[in-house]
């Protein structure tokens, strides 16, 4: 992955054996499933359901790893940590918003690259 790139499909390509059709299918699945999960993270945070926030963040983390979205991964790890600590810092919703904003940018780029 080059500096400044928002994502990479190298790892995904390795998983699917460089099958272009399957790569596009996986990208589409990612684009369909992740936005509702981010919305759910926001709702769970508003309800202060920290354990559920942690579980959901932990569950979606591999989706970002496979696309080498390291900047977003850092946010997700921070979200996991804050949720595990019951949001004692009070900054969990800020990190989720920050991550969601970055994801919007990446999502537009992914759609464009398809």
Domain with 53 in it: what CATH number?
1.20.120.160
Express each pLDDT in 95-114 by its tens digit.
999 999 999 999 999 998 88
Q: Which domain holds residue 80?
A: 10-113
The answer to the question of residue 1 being in a domain is: no
User: Does pLDDT of 42 surpass 90?
Assistant: yes
Whether residue 5 is contained in a domain is answered as no
Q: How much is the pTM? A: 0.88
Which is more confidently placed, 88 or 81? 81
Query: Does residue 33 sit within a domain?
Result: yes
Could you tell me if residue 68 is inside a domain? yes
User: For residue 67, is it within any domain?
Assistant: yes
Decide if 3 is inside a domain: no
Residues 49-81: pLDDT tens digits?
999 999 999 999 999 999 999 999 999 999 999
Residue 94: inside a domain, yes or no? yes
Q: Where residue 4 falls among pLDDT bands split at 50, 70, 90?
A: low
Is residue 88 domain-resident?
Answer: yes
Give the chain's domain count.
1
**Residues with Cβ within 8 Å of residue 37, at least 6 apart in sequence:** 56, 59, 60
**Closest by alpha carbon to 76, among 111, 47, 106?**
106
pLDDT at 1 over 60: no
pLDDT at 2: 52
Q: Is 87 exposed, middle or buried (0-12, 13-18, 19+ CB in 10 A)?
A: middle
């Amino acid at each position: 992955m080059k500096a400044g790139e928002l994502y990479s499909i190298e790892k995904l390509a390795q998983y699917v054996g460089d099958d272009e059709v399957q790569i596009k299918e996986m990208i589409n699945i990612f684009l369909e499933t992740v936005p509702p999960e981010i919305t759910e993270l926001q709702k769970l945070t508003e309800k202060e359901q920290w354990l559920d926030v942690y579980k959901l963040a932990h569950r979606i983390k591999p989706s970002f790893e496979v696309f080498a979205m390291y900047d977003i991964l850092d946010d997700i790890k921070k979200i996991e940590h804050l949720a595990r600590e019951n949001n004692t810092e009070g900054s969990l919703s800020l990190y989720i918003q920050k991550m969601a904003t970055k994801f919007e940018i990446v999502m537009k780029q992914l759609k464009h690259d398809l």
